Amino acid sequence: MVVGNEKPLYLDKLVKKYGDFTAVNEVSLTMEPGEIFGLLGPNGAGKTSIISCLVTLQQPTSGTCEIFGYDPTKNPIESKLLTGIVPQEIINHGYFNVEEILQFHSGYYQKWGNQKRIDYLLDRMGLWEHRHKKVKALSGGMKRRLLIAKALVHSPKLLLLDEPTAGVDVELPNSLWVFVRELKEQGTSILFTTHYLEEGESLCDRVGIWQVGNRRTIGEPKDVV
């Protein structure tokens, strides 16, 4: 797929309502290529609703939402080929083993013969020795690592991390942030949500503070955190 000079993420007055409740209230945001951007805010701030609109789990009520110039609602295939998503929820893959899941997921993105990338991610995410285990036998932390490997198996240009360090083992946050910085150096743009101010301060080029669906401020961490 050819990607032009469009921004990795462009939101213009994005609104998401659930009945009478407004989860996202006219949010505007532009990400730069290779940027790490943090969405900070408490539960109910609208962070996950924004990501859900980006990956077509939810339809925006109104406003503009684009990934590298593609509207996910109008061009879902093009936008999804460019995007990797690590959801909050740990997904159970039943009776398949770790390596099989990554092979299947590669196929979803038409990445045939992707074993080199799979082996790299298994090693990088500390899953190599667990690659033949059934997913249901993994710990919660290892399942989270598998979700990250799945999100990266097709080498996306935009990575969405929805509270990836919530409720995980002690080692994962440090190793994940080292890996995120490496991805940035390789040109990947990263958007992640978090409750933790220290993550935004130490990792991000810019952060946005959200509260009850509204953007409070956006800027460099030193100015807003």
In one-letter notation, the amino acid at residue 177 is: W
Reported in sequence order, the residue ranges of 79-179 that DSSP labels E, i.e. its strands, are: 83-86, 158-162
Based on its alpha-carbon atoms, the radius of gyration of the chain, rounded to whole angstroms, reads 17
- Is pLDDT at 190 greater than 60 in this prediction? yes
Most confident of 124-128, 174-178, 196-200: 124-128
Q: Which two tokens stand for residue 170?
A: 């002690």
Q: Where are the beta strands (DSSP E) in 44-110?
A: 62-66, 83-86
Least confident of 5-9, 32-36, 59-63, 148-152: 5-9
Is the pLDDT at 176 greater than 90? The verdict is no
pLDDT score, position 212: 73
Does the model's pTM come out above 0.95? no
Report d(CA 102, CA 152) in Å as an integer. Answer: 10
Instruction: Reply yes or no on whether the pLDDT at 2 is more than 50.
Output: no
Q: What pLDDT score was predicted for residue 170?
A: 66
152-167 burial, b at 16+ Cβ within 10 Å, e below that, comes to: bbbebbbbbbbbbbee
Compute the mean pLDDT over every residue in the chain, rounded to the nearest whole number.
89
Mean pLDDT, to the nearest integer, of 41-66?
Answer: 92
What local confidence, expressed as pLDDT, does residue 67 receive?
97
Burial annotation 99-113 (CB, 10 A radius, 16+ → b, else e): bebbbebbeeeebee
Q: Side by side, which strands form the sheet with 9-18?
A: 21-31, 9-18, 62-66
Q: Dihedral of the CA atoms 43, 47, 49, 51 (nearest 10)?
A: -140
